[in-house]
């Protein structure tokens, strides 16, 4: 039982949420820094950290106002401890520590990757482990088994780029702005992947690799040169997206076949991708129940951090930018 205040500042979204009993979102305010970083074509860590610090106080007030709750009612504070940008994590952890001391409340540090999985539990009230999860974000493409709350076993990861990183880099090559993933998603809707086939990365086992695909796109763009039309660009976006999505799902399919599991979760920023959402449902089909959080819970947010804090509260709040799933 309890009211959890979640704080997320690991990258370029500042978010504060109030969640009841790890499942019910009372408020989840998210401020995205897209405008701060756009002119640089990517996230600038120092600017991101400073913006978190500027925004957090008013976002905290807003989260309480929207939830109709007061600090005295909070039972636990949960802040993202890692992985993430160290300066950004420090801001969230520092503010969390300050509030916990001032309000005399306990504080826990939350693994951001756990958070992405717990986002699925906010959207499906009866979802419980054991589950098979695919977490695809800007920095991770991890296949995990979750046997029980607070326990994760990584069974597959990427050797090089994460899926989100691959989308962002491909978007840059295609001349799309920042943030790249959503822009590539939109452009791909106007393209036909069959007109510009690209290889589908395929490694042994459950490992991913997207660097070869990125190079293939680079060569194709070089070959097309000045003759490239807008339709070519859309077709290439669709083809790149198809290769990434099919590669992600091929391993998910393999893992599910090797060890059946009745619950599958696909989460993280890339889980907002239109094709991934459609194809994941087709690939999992009736072998398991698939949960993909709604778009606003796929990308970074504090409600998922509060939920993970509720179920897995056992870490200190110290920041650890390189944290894996531990
Ligand atoms: O989970 P997230 O919000 O932040 C991290 O923890 O990294 O994921 C951000 C990543 C970015 O690489 C972004 O381009 C990608 O998710 N992304 C998408 C889409 N929306 C966000 N990639 C493809 N299609 C989308 N619709
Ligand atoms: Zn994330």
Ligand 1 and 201: CB distance under 6 A: no
Structure tokens at 60: 């905290």
Among the bound ligands, the one closest to the CA of 308? 2
Which ligand 1 atom minimizes the distance to the CA of 181?
A: 14
Distance 179 CA to ligand 1 centre (A): 8
Ligand 1 and 180: CB distance under 6 A: yes
Distance 194 CA to ligand 2 centre (A): 31
Structure tokens at 163: 């899926």
Provide the pLDDT for residue 174. Answer: 97
Given a contact cutoff of 8 angstroms between Cβ atoms, the answer to whether 240 and 184 are in contact is yes
Please write down the HEC assignment for all residues of the chain. Answer: CCEEEEEECCCCEEEEEEEECCCEEEEEEEEECHHHHHHHCCCCHHHHHHHHHHHHHHHHHHHHHHHCCCHHHCCEEEEEEECCCHHHHHHHHHHHHHHHHHHCCCEEEEEHHHHHHHHHHHHCCCCCCCEEEEEECCCCEEEEEEEECCEEEEEECECCCCHHHHHHHHHHHCCCCCCHHHHHHHHHCCCCHHHCCCCCCCCCCCCECCHHHHHHHHHHHHHHHHHCCHHHHHHHHHHHHHHHHHHHHHHHHHHHHHCCCCEEEEECHHHHCHHHHHHHHHHHHHHCEEECCCHHHHCCCHHHHHHHHHHHCCCCCCCCCCCCCC
Among the bound ligands, the one closest to the CA of 169? 1
Ligand 1 and 269: CB distance under 6 A: yes
Provide the pLDDT for residue 1. Answer: 62
- Which long-range contacts (C-beta less than 8 Å, at least 24 apart) are formed by 103-106? 103/71, 103/72, 103/74, 105/74, 105/75, 105/76, 105/77, 106/75, 106/76, 106/77, 106/313
Name which residue sits closest to atom 6 of ligand 1, judged by CA. Answer: 137
Distance 103 CA to ligand 1 centre (A): 34
Task: Using the CB atoms, write b or e for 275-303: b if 16+ within 10 Å.
Answer: bbbebbeebbeeebebbbbeeebbbbbbb
Ligand 1 and 82: CB distance under 6 A: no
Provide the pLDDT for residue 316. Answer: 78
The answer, yes or no, to whether the previous bond of 83 is cis (omega within 30 of 0) is yes
Name which residue sits closest to atom 24 of ligand 1, judged by CA. Answer: 273
The answer, yes or no, to whether the previous bond of 179 is cis (omega within 30 of 0) is yes
What is the pTM assigned to this prediction? 0.96
Ligand 1 and 84: CB distance under 6 A: no
Distance 155 CA to ligand 2 centre (A): 19
Q: Please give the average pLDDT of every successive group of 10 residues along the chain, which has 326 residues.
A: 94 98 97 94 95 98 98 98 97 97 96 97 97 96 96 96 96 94 98 97 93 97 94 98 98 97 98 98 98 97 98 83 89
Direct distance between the N- and C-terminal alpha carbons of the chain, in angstroms, rounded to an integer = 25
Distance 218 CA to ligand 1 centre (A): 21
Ligand 1 and 196: CB distance under 6 A: no
Q: CB atoms < 10 A from the CB of 23, how many?
A: 17
Provide the pLDDT for residue 326. Answer: 82
From CA 199, how far away is CA 217, in angstroms rounded?
Answer: 9
Name which residue sits closest to atom 14 of ligand 1, judged by CA. Answer: 181
Give the gyration radius of the chain's Cα atoms: 20
Ligand 1 and 268: CB distance under 6 A: yes
Cα dist from 100 to 1, 76, 88, 127, 210, whole Å: 18, 8, 19, 30, 42
Kindly give the pairing relationship between strand 141-148 and strand 151-156: antiparallel
């Amino acid at each position: 039982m309890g009211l959890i205040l979640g704080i997320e500042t690991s990258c370029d979204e500042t978010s504060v949420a109030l969640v009841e009993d790890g499942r019910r979102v009372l408020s989840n305010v998210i401020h995205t820094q897209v405008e701060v970083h756009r002119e640089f074509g990517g996230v600038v860590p120092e600017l991101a950290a400073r913006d978190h610090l500027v925004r957090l106080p008013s976002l905290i007030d807003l989260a309480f106002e929207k939830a109709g709750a007061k600090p005295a009612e909070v039972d636990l504070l949960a802040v993202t401890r890692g992985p993430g940008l160290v300066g950004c994590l420090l801001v969230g952890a520092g503010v969390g520590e300050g509030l916990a001391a001032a309000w005399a409340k306990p504080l826990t540090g939350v693994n951001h990757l756990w958070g992405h999985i717990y986002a699925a539990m906010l959207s499906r009230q009866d979802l419980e482990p054991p589950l098979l999860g695919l977490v695809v974000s800007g920095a991770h493409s991890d296949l995990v088994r979750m046997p029980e709350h607070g326990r994760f076993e990584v069974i597959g990861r990427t050797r090089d780029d994460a899926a989100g990183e691959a989308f962002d880099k491909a978007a840059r090559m295609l001349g799309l702005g920042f943030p790249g993933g959503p822009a590539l998603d939109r452009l791909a809707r106007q393209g036909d992947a069959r007109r510009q086939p690209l290889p589908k990365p395929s490694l042994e086992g459950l490992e991913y690799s997207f660097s070869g695909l990125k190079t293939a796109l680079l060569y194709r763009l070089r070959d097309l040169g000045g003759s490239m039309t807008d339709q070519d660009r859309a077709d290439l976006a669709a083809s790149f997206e198809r290769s990434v999505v099919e590669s992600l799902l091929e391993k998910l399919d393999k893992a599910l076949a090797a060890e059946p599991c009745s619950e599958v979760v696909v989460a993280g920023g890339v889980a907002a991708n239109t094709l991934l959402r459609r194809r994941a449902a087709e690939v999992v089909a009736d072998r398991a129940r698939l949960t993909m959080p709604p778009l606003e819970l796929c990308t970074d947010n504090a409600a998922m951090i509060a939920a993970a804090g509720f179920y897995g509260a056992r870490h200190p709040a110290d920041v650890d930018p390189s944290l894996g799933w531990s």
